[in-house]
Structure 1
Amino acid sequence: MNQDIIKSQWKQLKGEVKQKWARLTDDDLTLIEGKRDVLEGKIQERYGLARDKAEAEVRDFEQRLRKH
């Protein structure tokens, strides 16, 4: 998914992101503002994942979104 698309659709995607990664706070979601790298960092922080695992989770999430 293109970074511009994530940013432009961030308000709609926030609910799905919150559902997928429930440990992210509303403040986290506000800070992320559709920035993929910030999302990956917050997932790492909240879930204690390695960077490559967080990247893979976001990539899988994006692929699922493309299918819908």
Structure 2
Amino acid sequence: MNDDRISGNWKQFKGKVKEKWGKLTDDDMDVAEGKREQLVGRIQERYGYEKDQAEKELKEWEDSNQYRW
């Protein structure tokens, strides 16, 4: 999926992301704005995860929602 398409779909996925990771703020979501690495970083910060753990959770979420960056 290209960056334009990710940004265009971001609003509809934003709610699902916040359902999964409720500690993420609206500001976190604005910073991530469809960028996977930014989202991983925000998940790390809010949940105190190592990068590998944040990546793993996001990958599992992507697979379960059939969402690809």
Same fold, TM exceeding 0.5?
yes
TM-score bracket for the superposition, by shorter chain length: 0.7 to 0.9
Stretches of structure 1 that go unaligned for 5 or more consecutive residues are none
Q: Distance in 2 between matches of 1:62 and 1:22?
A: 16
Size of the alignment, in residue pairs?
Answer: 66
Q: Distance in 2 between matches of 1:37 and 1:3?
A: 14
- The structure-2 alpha-carbon separation of the partners of 1:15 and 1:61, relative to structure 1 and needing over 3 Å to count, comes to same
2:66 counterpart SS class: helix
Cα drift, residue 7 of structure 1:
2.9
Q: Distance in 2 between matches of 1:65 and 1:58?
A: 10
Stretches of structure 2 that go unaligned for 5 or more consecutive residues are none
TM-score by length of 2: 0.85
TM-score by length of 1: 0.87
- In the alignment, which residue of structure 1 is the partner of 2:64? 64
Alignment root-mean-square deviation, CA: 1.6
User: C-alpha deviations, 1:22-67, integer Å up to 9, x for none?
Assistant: 0000111111101000000000000000100000111111101118
